[in-house]
């Protein structure tokens, strides 16, 4: 089944007529995503690949009925209001692909998020995919294959490589989530891992962390629960050799003083029972070994 999204998830795309939005909408449709409408101001009344386009989210909701999720491909200056518009219209899953949103604008978004039931993934993220069922965002179609491994990652590019490795090793995936690399994101490791804990089809989890912040350490108690419930967790921490005080790629990937150092993350995760992989190529090999142990014990 996977988590958060499936083949029945009714999706809209905000920014559907833009360059990025139109390209990735086609990719999502190729993956059989159930996209029921698009939203672009002043483009209402048009169609894109047979999908009706509306001026506002409220118009789309009024015309199409219940909307479960939205994917946002809107420029950084306009994206915060697009997110808030989705929240105010009761959309549960909000996937924000947009990169470069100012952090003070995200503070306003979080004000609304905390007062709603919406779950935001991102911003500056590749999105979410439940393999074989649906895709919201920019995860490449050809790396997805239905299987038994859940993946949650702060890094987009690295996660694509890992998904391909899982596919090649006949492990496949349940759901893959790219959390995003900004300091102020929505869904975090702790919440995503808890969902995998409660998903009967997810038999193991891959967690891709980065330097910076304390999200990985805060997720350690849930990692412990996963391991105790015979769901092996393999972790890879990107940027381990990055110099202190220097941002590496993501806005959130920065070590300042004692905060965000990879050794603290690795120590906390190891204590929780996770296995730390030094290279991504080792991940499927470790998973197969750990899954075989679980099978023998049962």
Buried b (16+ CB within 10 A) or exposed e, 62-91: eeeeebbbbbbbbeeeebbebbbbbbebeb
Q: Is 178 buried (19+), middle (13-18) or exposed (0-12) by CB count in 10 A? A: buried
Q: Bin 100: left if φ > 0, else alpha if -120 < ψ < 50, else beta.
A: left
Q: Is 234 buried (19+), middle (13-18) or exposed (0-12) by CB count in 10 A? A: buried
Which residue among the candidates 24, 104, 110, 250 is catalytic per the annotation? 250
User: Who's near 12: CB < 8 A, 6+ residues apart?
Assistant: 35, 36, 37, 38, 39, 57, 60, 64, 67, 69, 70, 71, 91
DSSP run (H or E) holding 47: strand 47-48
Tokens of 74: 């809107």
SS3 content of the chain, % helix, strand, coil (to 5): 35, 20, 40
Dihedral (CA of 176, 181, 182, 184) sign: positive
- Report how far residue 152's alpha carbon sits from residue 76's, in angstroms, rounded to the nearest whole number: 24
Tokens of 254: 């920065």
Contact between residue 41 and residue 53 where contact means Cβ atoms under 8 Å apart:
no
Q: Is 250 a catalytic residue?
A: yes
- Report how far residue 40's alpha carbon sits from residue 36's, in angstroms, rounded to the nearest whole number: 14
Tokens of 292: 């075989």
Q: Which residues are part of the catalytic machinery?
A: 250
């Amino acid at each position: 089944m996977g988590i958060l999204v499936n083949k029945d998830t009714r999706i809209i795309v905000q920014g559907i007529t833009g360059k990025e939005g139109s390209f990735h909408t086609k990719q999502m449709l190729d993956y059989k995503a159930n996209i029921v409408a698009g939203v672009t101001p002043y483009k209402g009344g048009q169609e894109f690949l047979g999908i009706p386009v509306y001026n506002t989210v409220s118009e789309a909701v009024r015309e199409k009925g219940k909307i479960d999720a939205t994917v946002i491909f809107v420029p950084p200056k306009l994206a915060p209001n697009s997110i808030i518009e989705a929240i105010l219209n009761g959309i549960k899953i909000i996937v924000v692909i947009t990169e470069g949103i100012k952090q003070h604008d995200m503070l306003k978004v979080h004000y609304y998020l905390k007062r709603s039931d919406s779950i935001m993934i991102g911003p500056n993220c590749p999105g979410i995919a439940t393999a074989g069922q649906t895709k919201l965002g920019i995860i490449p179609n050809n790396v997805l294959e239905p299987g038994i491994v859940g993946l949650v990652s702060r890094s987009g590019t690295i996660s694509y490589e890992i998904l391909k490795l899982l596919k090649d090793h006949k492990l496949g995936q349940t759901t893959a989530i790219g959390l995003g690399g900004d300091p102020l994101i929505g869904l975090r490791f702790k919440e995503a891992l808890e969902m995998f804990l409660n998903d009967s089809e997810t038999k193991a989890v891959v967690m891709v962390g980065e330097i910076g912040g304390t999200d990985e350490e805060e997720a350690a108690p849930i990692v412990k629960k996963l391991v105790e419930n015979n769901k092996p967790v393999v972790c890879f921490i990107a940027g381990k050799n990055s110099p202190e005080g220097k941002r590496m790629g993501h806005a959130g990937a920065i070590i300042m003083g004692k905060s965000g150092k990879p050794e603290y993350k690795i120590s906390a995760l190891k204590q929780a029972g996770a296995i730390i992989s030094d290279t991504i190529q080792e991940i499927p090999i470790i998973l197969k070994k750990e899954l075989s142990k679980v099978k023998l014990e049962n």
